[in-house]
Every structure is written in structure tokens, then in C-alpha cells.
Amino acid sequence: SGLTDLIELGIIPNIQGIYRNDLLKHEGMPLTEKPAIDAVFISHAHADHSWNIALLHPEIPIYCGFTCKLMLKAAQETSRGTYYEDFYTFRECFVTRGKRPEKERNFKTFRTGDKIKIKDIEVEPIHVDHSIPGAYGFLVHTSSGTIAYSGDIRLHGPKKEMTEDFIEAAKKEKPIALILEGTNIDNRIGSMTEEQVFKIANKIVEKTKGLVLFDFPIRDVDRLRTFFEIGKRNGRRFVTNMKQAYLIELLNKEDKNLELPPLEEFDIFLPRSSWGVYEERDYYKWQRKFLKYSNAIKAEDIRKQQSKYMLYMEFFDLTELLDIKPCNGSVFIHSLTEPFNEEMEIDFKRMLNWLKKFNIPLKHAHASGHADGKQLKKIAEEIKPKVLFPVHTEKPEMFGKIIKKVKIVMPEARKEIILS
């Protein structure tokens, strides 16, 4: 899909002066001499919040957390390299390959406590707890008052004090508006914590005699620590894939504040290339270095000693089961959100078919990256904005049913809202 298709479907806004000229020219749209906006602020590195950077004019400054930038770097460098994945660097499209110089986008990083002046407004980023490091909410200080934006947020995670810092800072400003995410607004039964995920998954591993297979969001470092600790307690090596190995190595080198286990304490799974061999030339450039690592292992290594390993698998890794041949007594721990759209349901059924093929039972243990209804009520009613705008939710009407002490206004696409 091109720009015009994305605009027509309402996936991206129809705003002149923000998109990259190579795509505009290709579709016969007016070019941009100078970007129409002064900056873009990114709350965190999940795809639905950041990957459309790839469509933006390369001169637009991108403000994000330092760790967020690292996450974007890793995501692009381990991707297939289409222009939809140019969210860290920029390469001009529709020119010959030799004339496509690559340059880093205009990133400007921040940490909590920084204040960024953009003309007559000031943006104050404040860390929040989410299922990816480097997540922030924002206080936007204007001449009419402060607007608070939550980003994606929760109060049941390992770093809930970060979210509490945001709530306290926003509360002090008496904001004229709060833009609040509501992914799990309809969850009234409460949220599983990371500690509970550990206890459930650890008990499963303790009882498993065969191979332990598991998944979780690849950039969720809290879950990474959880399964790493479970592996240590049960005398099993955590086997990660190349993409996650790249991320672990990068974060350990560039952001020591995260205090992740060193890559040497993991094993790295080497999938066979498309030719069924392990020739360096058959792998992407970013993968090749791992072929020479001493802790790199192959399917046959796992097959011979299945009780020794815990193998991390993304959906597209499931074909490796044909070479691994999990033995009786193996298990798969599913540590991802339940499917919530048709595409995810199809993928989930395919995963179940793979597991059925090898008689592997599926177990669940997952903590959400999003606040539940009770937490959202607490956030809104503690901050006490003049007005609250629900976003990032399929059930905005639930806000009015749960949050009684704050005025709720439903934002409408392409409709201006005046605050005072």
C-alpha cells in the first residue's frame, strides 16, 4: 500500500507537509520543501506508536527516550529492509541501489527530568511502566495550561513507581486535559503481575521432563528476566533466537541501566538457511556474526539434550520443531496477549496445529502491558483533569461507565478541539 491508500483508509492522517518526498513524488502528490511541523514525540518503540516514522520527511526531528531509540535501531536492523521499516535510518526509494545512501534520522533523545522547548510550548517527558523499556508519558505545557498524555501505561508492572511518578507530576499541574490510553478499560477483574507470571511459569517448568518452549513479546525485557531466572532455578539454558540476541547485545552495550543478563549466559539458536545448511553467505549480514559465537547451538544439540534447554520461539520459528523433534513430556508456555483480531486468531490456530503435530500441551502465563479498568479509574481520578480524552481503545464508551469524577469527551477524527 502507498501513501494514498493509507490516507484513504484513515490509517495515517491527511496532513500536507509531513511525508517523505520520494513517496509523494512516486504517487504524483505535491512535494514538501520544508516540513510543516517542528517535531514528533514518540512515547515508546512499539510498532503502533513509532513505526510510521518511516513515512515521515527525514528532516523532522524525532524526540524519544534514549532506550526507545536503541529499540528502533535493533528493530530496523533485524528487519527485511523495506521503506516501511525505515524508522531508524532513511534511504531514498525508487532510485538505483547504488544511489541510496543511508543516514540516521534526526533523533533527539531525552530522559525523565528533561524539558524540551518547541517554540511557545514546553514538553516534559516522564517515565511510565509498560511492557517495553524506554516508555514515557508527556506533560505539554502551553499558555492555556498543561495537557497530559499517558502513553501506554500500567500500575501492576515491576516498575509501577515510574507510573506513579507520572501521575504525581501530572496531578501537580492541574491539567486542562488528559489523553489516556484505554486498551484494557473493559478488564474489571484485575491484572496478573510479573511476579505471578514467574510463579506460574516456574511451576510448569519444574514439572516438565522434556523440552520447554515459550514465547513472549521480543522487546519485553521484564519477561526476558523472568524466564532467564526460571531457567537458572531449574538448571536449564535459555536459548534465544538471533533477533533477540541482537537486541540483548545492543542493550547491554549501550544502556547498562537496564542491567540485563549478558548474552554469554544465553545460548543462541541457529536456524538452518533456506538451503538447509549453515553457510555464512545464506544469512543476513546482521546474523552472520552469531554463527561464530561459542554459545551458538543448532537443532541437533537441543534434540539430544531436551531437558537441558528452554527454547524461546516466535511464531515464524515454529517450523524449527521439525528438526528439533520435541520429545514426550515437552510443553509450550504462551506468554503473549490473547488474540484480539482475525489475523491473530488465524496465527494462533496455526500455532496450535504445530503443537498438536508434536503432542505439546499449551500453558498460559502473561501480564499485560496496559492498565485495567480499575487502574485507569485511579489514574484519571488522581490526576483530575478538566477533561479526559480516551484513546488507544476499542471501547471508549466504557470510560464514562467507570470514571465518574472526570468529564469524558470522545475525540473525533479530523475535528478540532479547543481547550482553555
The enclosing H or E element of 237 equals: strand 237-240
Q: Which of 333, 348, 364 delimits the end of a domain?
A: 364
- pLDDT computed for residue 277 by the predictor: 76
Place of cell 496478573: 192
- pLDDT computed for residue 306 by the predictor: 98
Q: Strand pairing of 309-312 and 237-240?
A: parallel
Residue type, 217: P
Contact between residue 326 and residue 213 where contact means Cβ atoms under 8 Å apart:
yes
- pLDDT computed for residue 1 by the predictor: 58
Based on the structure, what is the number of domains in the chain?
3
**Co-location of 225 and 134 in the same domain:** no
SS3 189: coil
- pLDDT computed for residue 368 by the predictor: 96
- pLDDT computed for residue 183 by the predictor: 96
- pLDDT computed for residue 100 by the predictor: 65
**Co-location of 354 and 213 in the same domain:** yes
Contact between residue 371 and residue 154 where contact means Cβ atoms under 8 Å apart:
yes
Q: Which residue, among 318, 324, 270, has the nearest Cα to 296 in the 3D structure?
A: 270
Q: In 262-388, which ranges are continuous DSSP H helix?
A: 285-288, 299-304, 321-324, 342-357, 373-383
**Co-location of 89 and 203 in the same domain:** no
**Co-location of 246 and 347 in the same domain:** yes
How far, in Å, CA of 394 to CA of 183, rounded?
7
Residue type, 56: L
How far, in Å, CA of 134 to CA of 222, rounded?
12
SS3 307: helix
- pLDDT computed for residue 413 by the predictor: 83
**Co-location of 354 and 209 in the same domain:** yes
Phi first, then psi, for residue 335 (nearest 5°) are -120, 50
**Co-location of 257 and 355 in the same domain:** yes
* pLDDT, one tens digit for every residue, the chain (420 residues): 588 899 888 889 999 999 999 888 888 898 988 999 999 999 999 999 999 999 999 999 999 999 999 999 999 999 876 666 788 998 888 776 666 678 899 999 999 999 999 999 999 999 999 999 999 999 999 999 999 999 999 999 999 999 999 999 999 999 999 999 999 999 988 899 999 999 999 999 999 999 999 999 999 999 999 999 999 999 999 999 999 999 999 999 999 999 999 999 999 999 988 777 788 888 999 999 999 999 999 999 999 999 999 999 998 899 999 999 999 999 999 999 876 677 878 888 999 999 999 999 999 999 999 999 999 999 999 999 999 999 999 999 999 999 999 999 999 988 899 887
User: 66-77 vs 242-254: helix axis angle to the nearest 10?
Assistant: 150
Place of cell 534526526: 106
User: What nine digits make up the cell of 192?
Assistant: 496478573
Which residues form the domain of 240?
194-364
How far, in Å, CA of 344 to CA of 71, rounded?
23
Q: Which of 78, 94, 110 delimits the end of a domain?
A: 110
**Co-location of 325 and 413 in the same domain:** no
Residue type, 347: D
Q: What is the pTM of this model?
A: 0.93
How far, in Å, CA of 165 to CA of 153, rounded?
12
Phi first, then psi, for residue 291 (nearest 5°) are -60, -25
